[in-house]
């Protein structure tokens, strides 16, 4: 007897963290709709970002390295939806693709592995990261630090640290928690390091004309997370930020509007322009972006392309 086809083919990167996030989506859909275990098939897809790990993203295609293979499979009908860490998704998306749902956002903070605090790092410490935002924030706090390129999944980066390729590194608390690595690293206060836009948020994309499945995902969409992430992505769009741009942001919906904290930095952390405002709508983040760029030096504005 033939095995019945699944209701949903869910595409994802194949890293342990990506698979953990995909399984969170599966669990949410099964709980919402009462589906059995065979209703959803997880389809791992290897992306260019997984294959190329020895160079910064800016040198090899930017954030599209994480999405283009999933986009192709989605638009070709090989999968029905794609699960993403939203901080890895480029701001401009194809019009044929819609963000159907967001899971509730997890801890937005970074964790420092290798020392209790940034202040406790030894003089001249080597800190492994590939993030322009983290690099700039680290150097703002510790100008004596040396930034070492670290790419790869969580296990790869922790292994590099264990081999002594750096004295410390930073990883997203959300990813560590989703991998049950709750005791790894020390959380860095938001007052010290604002997160990357959309950090800690998992989003699911579908074909924009797939009304039936869009309805399925509406049942698991977390509205506060959607509001926060759309606001932070509107800030990125207003800034014209790309993978070379040191930018941090955190939007928090509340009764009187959306509190948006944001900062843009020079690559070495010497300059930082910050905003902390309550705005009415996500699209108002574009005004915050314009205000930040208006205050920034020519050197910092050159890192953005509004």
**88 catalytic residue (yes or no):** yes
Residues 6+ apart with CB under 8 A from 194: 137, 248, 249, 250, 261, 262, 263
- Catalytic one of 38, 71, 80, 88: 88
Q: Which long-range contacts (CB under 8 A, 24 or more apart) does 148-155 make?
A: 149/54, 149/55, 149/56, 151/53, 151/54, 151/55, 151/56, 152/53, 153/15, 153/16, 153/17, 153/50, 154/15, 154/16, 154/17, 154/179, 154/181, 155/16
- Tell me how crowded residue 258 is: count the other CB atoms within 10 A of its CB: 22
> DSSP assignment, residue 202?
E
Q: Give me Rg for the CA atoms of the chain.
A: 19
Catalytic positions, written as ranges: 88
């Amino acid at each position: 007897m033939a095995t019945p086809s699944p209701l949903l083919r869910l595409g994802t990167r194949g890293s342990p963290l990506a698979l953990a996030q995909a399984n969170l989506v599966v669990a949410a859909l099964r709980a919402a709709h009462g589906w059995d275990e065979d209703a959803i098939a997880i389809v791992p897809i290897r992306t260019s970002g997984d294959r190329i790990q020895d160079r910064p993203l800016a040198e090899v295609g930017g954030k599209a390295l994480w999405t283009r293979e999933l986009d192709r499979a989605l638009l070709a009908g090989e999968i029905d939806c794609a699960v993403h860490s939203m901080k890895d998704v480029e701001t401009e998306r194809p019009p044929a693709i819609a963000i159907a749902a967001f899971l509730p956002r997890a801890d937005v903070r970074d964790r420092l592995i290798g020392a209790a605090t940034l202040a406790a790092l030894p003089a001249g410490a080597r800190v492994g990261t590939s993030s322009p935002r983290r690099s700039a924030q680290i150097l703002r706090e510790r100008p004596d630090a040396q930034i070492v390129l670290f790419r790869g999944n969580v296990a790869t980066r922790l292994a590099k640290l264990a081999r002594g390729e750096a004295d410390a590194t930073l990883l997203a608390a959300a990813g560590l928690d989703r991998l049950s690595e709750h005791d790894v690293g020390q959380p860095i206060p938001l007052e010290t390091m604002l997160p990357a836009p959309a950090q800690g948020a998992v989003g699911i994309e579908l074909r924009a004309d797939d009304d039936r499945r869009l309805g399925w995902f509406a049942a698991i969409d977390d509205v506060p997370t959607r509001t926060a992430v759309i606001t932070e992505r509107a800030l990125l769009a207003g800034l014209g930020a790309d993978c070379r741009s040191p930018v941090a942001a955190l939007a928090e919906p509340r009764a009187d509007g959306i509190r948006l904290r944001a900062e843009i930095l020079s690559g070495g952390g010497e300059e930082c322009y910050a905003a902390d405002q309550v705005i009415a709508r996500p699209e108002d983040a574009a005004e915050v972006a314009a205000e930040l760029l208006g205050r920034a030096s020519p050197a910092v504005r050159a890192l953005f392309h509004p």
